[in-house]
Amino acid sequence: MTVHQVRGADGTRIVYRTFGDPSSRPLVLLHGWAQSSHCWGDPLLEDLAARYRVIAVDLRGHGCSAAPADGYDDRAAWASDVRTVLTAENCTGAVLLGWSYGGLVVCDYLAVHGTADVAGVVLVGAITSIGRGEKGGKVGAAMRAAIPAAMSEDPQIAVPALGAFAESLVGAGRSEATGETAQALLGSSLRTPPRVRSALFARTVGNDDLLRELDLPVLVLHGTADAVVDISAAEHAASLLPRATTSCWDGAGHGPFVEDPRRFAEDVVRFVDTLG
């Protein structure tokens, strides 16, 4: 594993980690709201790195990347961040995998830079649009319960909300392992500044037309019991995408890669290896 940093078009420092053979197909992982590249778990990253060049990015405002004062409502800024990473890694034929808010960032990139260097897309518990009335951005009960408390600067208000949110990411099963994971995810949320947690929702963008015209294979992977991003968002995206493959996990929540990393890796590998 190697840690890198680059600068987006507006000078924002973007940090990412790479795993695996640099000559293998790039698999670019974009995490969700108030998380970081550590959300995937190193065992999963190492498993995927046995076949691909895994590039796990900390989005702007998250993890070890810088948190600028603005730019979170600017799709060109998100697109530039991803483009800068792809350029630094000399990526061609990349697969972009976006979880939750990361799905929206994937759409930002495709809308601005197109598909020339992209071979496929994986959307995991993802939103593809955001804003009132956008079917591709429909959230579930856990997300609605977290807002607006999770954006508060008062820890007595924010911590309980973020704690409950972190538990919703690991699924219904409770064990020592999932409890530890939930606390790690909570730590990432708390590390994300409150102003960033809030700013990510202060945008409205629809990508239905983009999805209708997207001439790329796309895997839409979603848990049927996802309480953060409603499964109807996945169904909406799949209905628009010309080349969609779906994998709906019965009873799974918002973090399928947390609930069953091996199955998740198998789903991703099965899809990516069809890209040739």
179: confidence class by pLDDT, cuts 50, 70, 90: confident
Region 197-215 average pLDDT: 96
Question: Is residue 175 predicted with pLDDT exceeding 60?
Answer: no
Predicted local confidence at residue 5, as pLDDT:
96
Residue 172 banded pLDDT, cuts 50, 70, 90: low
Can you give the pLDDT at residue 1?
A: 83
Residue 234's identity, in one-letter code, is A
Q: ∠224-227-247 over CA atoms, to 5°?
A: 25
Residue 176's pLDDT band, with cuts at 50, 70 and 90, is low
Hey, what domains does the chain have and what are their CATH numbers?
Answer: 2-139+205-272 (3.40.50.1820)
What is the per-residue pLDDT for 123? 98
pLDDT digits 0-9 by tens, 83-98: 999 999 999 999 999 9
Asked if residue 38 lies in contact with residue 188, where contact means CB atoms within 8 angstroms, the answer is: yes
The burial of 98, by beta-carbon neighbours within 10 Å (0-12 exposed, 13-18 middle, 19 or more buried), is given as: buried
Q: Please check the confidence at residue 120 and state whether its pLDDT lies above 80.
A: yes
Q: Residue 14 corresponds to which tokens in the numbers above?
A: 């973007």
How high is the mean pLDDT of the chain? 94
The average pLDDT across 159-171 equals: 89
pLDDT value, residue 69 = 94
> What band does 180 get if pLDDT is binned at 50, 70 and 90?
confident
pLDDT of residue 173: 56
Beta bridge partners of 28: 55, 96
Q: How far is CA 63 from the centre of its chain?
A: 13
Amino acid code (one letter) for 236: H
